[in-house]
Amino acid sequence: MTTLVLSSRHSEDNQILWREAIRRDWSIVRARGIRVPEIQDAEIVIYAESLFAPTIADCFNRTLLTPPEDWLVQLPWEYTRRSIELMRLGEARVIRRPAFIKPPNDKLFEARVYRTGEELPVDFDEELSVLVSTPVEWAVEFRCFCLDGQIETVSPYLRDGKLACLSHFESSSLELEAVHSFTADVLAASKSSRPRACVVDIGLLQSGKWAVVEANAAWGSGLYGCNPSQALNVIREAIIQPGSENSFHESTLTQ
């Protein structure tokens, strides 16, 4: 049997996954912060915020798959179309130019353009890793749930700076074709450095070029208009079960 563990925070996304898990005849439990009940099922799937998920996974002796902090930095220019650096928060504070600054994998503080590093929040460890990039303007941004080098499900989430839900997550066939083509190239180019199950966000710049926005852990990513069943398939593989043959890399690399 399989158990889906959700965080104590009720959200539209975990309610959607709750219903999908019921459809699959899975058991479902909610953690209370980092406190979790005893679970006897052999397979445990976790969907929770980054603040809680790693500790919840540790309680069950599981390992979550998360993109490396420097994954975006290591991508060639043709996939990012902007300068991106990984540095410590303390180093970013001395920046005296506008820069888009965010933690690599967590939502610890607001990801946005800061006019200077002096605007960064102060209530964090100066050793905290942050990504610092050249500000760019996106025409549209897409979320891609990916597994073993393939997009399982995709949805726009921002269009001209507005939430795509306002347009019912609509996208054209030409857009989706371009998204699949570009993302396939990105996944192939980063095969050795990214987890086999993850989320990759890509976007169309105002310049007309496609670029990677960021990568995220599937176990904590919002669904937007993605297919819940296919998204859950990716989330299910974004955790290493004890004794399983699942690993960080794509299955083709471990066979």
- Domain-embedded: residue 78: no
Residue 96 lies in a domain: yes
Domain carrying residue 112: 83-133
Tell me what pLDDT residue 232 has.
99
pLDDT in tens, 225-254: 999 999 999 999 999 998 877 678 776 443
Query: Based on the structure, what is the number of domains in the chain?
Result: 3
Residues 142 and 126 in one domain: no
Helix ranges (DSSP H) in the chain: 12-23, 53-59, 71-74, 77-80, 89-92, 173-189, 228-237, 251-254
Question: Is 126 contained in some domain?
Answer: yes
Tokens encoding 34: 């980092």
> pLDDT band at 168, cuts 50/70/90?
very high
Residues 141, 122 share a domain: no
Please report whether residue 163 resides in a domain: yes
The H helix count followed by the E strand count for the chain is 8, 14
Structural domain contains residue 149: yes
pLDDT at 91 over 70: yes
pLDDT digits (tens, 9 = 90+) for 24-43: 999 999 998 888 888 988 99
